[in-house]
A and B are shown apart, each in its own frame.
Chain A
Amino acid sequence: MPPNGSSSAAAVWAILRKECRSEWRTRYGLNAALLFAVATLTGVSFAVGRLPDRTDLLSALLWVVLLFASLASLAHAFVKEVEGHTMTLLRLVASPTAIALGKLLFNLIFLGVLELVTVPLFLILMGGPPPRWGAFLLVLGLGSLALAATTTLVGAVVSQTRGRGALFAAVSLPLLMVVLAAGVSGLRAQWDGNPIGADVRLLAAYAAAVLGASVLLYDHLWED
């Protein structure tokens, strides 16, 4: 009696709604992420002023702010279920794949909300050149997808280990380097008027590979 597609979709949707409602009520991740992003951008802006000509620094700064502002919350997606002892409840109502997809969608929405506040603030405070919006949003979107997929997968894998905090950082770091490198390169290229094709292809392929691995792995998690 395998779960059918409609019940899996219902589970993903229910988990996504549950995550959004939980975040709305507890403000566990969003407040801290926004505080980090706004404080960092304000601090850097006071220290070095506007950097309209330094597209290399601007590209790196935007990704560093987004990465560190979001990482604590993204990493916590599964840990909070383990530490709150609610993982058993979740596993009794949904398949591991549905759980992970629900959390991945929430992480994407979380990143989207964070970027909605951070990017305009970044452009205003740092005085960057006007972006080529299509290319800019494509790099940002694919980078966010790769970032969310990677952190969701690593978070799911390490959630039931003892040293999950240290393990998450150790496993995520090499995996996120690819996303950071391609994301920074892509943003810089769009500001400099250079082609972004190679970076976009790398981000898309990387996100697809991680998502593919995730779908294969999720149903084998948490059985021991």
Chain B
Amino acid sequence: MNAAAAPVADVALSLEARGLAHLYTGRRGLQPVSFTVASPGAVAVTGANGSGKSTLLRLVAGLLRPTAGASVLTLGGVAVAPAARREVVGFASPELQFYDEFSALENLAFAAEARGLADPHGRARAALERVGLESRAGDRATALSSGMKQRLRLAFALLHRPPVLLLDEPGSHLDDEGRALVDRVVDQQRRCGLVVIATNEEREWRLATERIELRGSGLGHPA
């Protein structure tokens, strides 16, 4: 087990959504949803296209402000404010893009440095090794294939060994080996932390111990 694969701190954490909603222009987005999940474990968020799965993950990550309700993330009994969620959350999503002019290693080293982690290059190398990208560390992000970029997103999410992993369609663009990597990452994380997976892939939601199905309007029934 390399450094990046070391388990996160085994601290009790819980995530609660209380009528959490975010409506974009046109009243589309995440309709009010309530749930409580706790670590250790993995929860899958499923639902039709446009039902708000990605929006829910962005809300939990503190990237969006809810238009109604709230999400409460507590770590060791202490609530983590949305503005500080980036410290404890690892986020991988198709919308996450990297700097084309930098290599895979430089992108991760920048992220590690900005997070204030010790030995940013060492952490970045360990994260790349964990997702099987060590041989492409020096390649610019723009030269990576879609599957490699998806692995890089996973490495980015794991970089600071967060207790909470938010994975939006983690298996997209991945080959069989890549999907097995996702299985291993989720399996390891759910033993010592919390994983939230937004997906409609059966293979992925079966990795979870709980499932939340969003019943938003989706594409077919605009509100």
Contact = CB atoms under 8 A, between A and B. Distances in A.
B84 A2 contact: yes
A224 B24 CA distance: 9
A90 B107 CA distance: 11
A25 B140 CA distance: 12
Interface in A10-66: 10-11, 13-15, 17-18, 21-22, 25-26
A67 to B, nearest CB: 27
A90 to B, nearest CB: 8
B35 interface: no
A88 B98 CA distance: 9
A93 B83 contact: no
Contacts of A84: 97, 99-100
B101 A26 contact: yes
Interface string B102-139: 10001100110111100000000000000000000000
B78 interface: yes
Contacts, number: 87
A3 B87 CA distance: 8
A224 B95 contact: no
B143 interface: no
Given A1-B88, A25-B101, A84-B97, A93 B80 contact: no
A194 to B, nearest CB: 46
Interface residues of A, number: 31
A13 B113 CA distance: 9
A82 B156 CA distance: 19
Contacts of A88: 63, 91, 93, 95-97
Given A1-B81, A2-B81, A3-B87, A11 B116 contact: yes
A1 B65 contact: no
A91 B80 CA distance: 16
A200 to B, nearest CB: 35
Interface of B: 61, 63-65, 75, 78, 80-81, 83-84, 86-89, 91, 93, 95-102, 106-107, 110-111, 113-116, 156
30 contacts: A1-B75, A1-B87, A6-B116, A7-B115, A10-B114, A11-B114, A11-B115, A14-B110, A15-B114, A17-B113, A18-B99, A18-B110, A21-B106, A22-B99, A22-B101, A22-B102, A26-B101, A86-B97, A86-B98, A86-B99, A88-B97, A89-B99, A90-B114, A92-B86, A92-B111, A93-B110, A93-B115, A94-B114, A224-B64, A224-B65
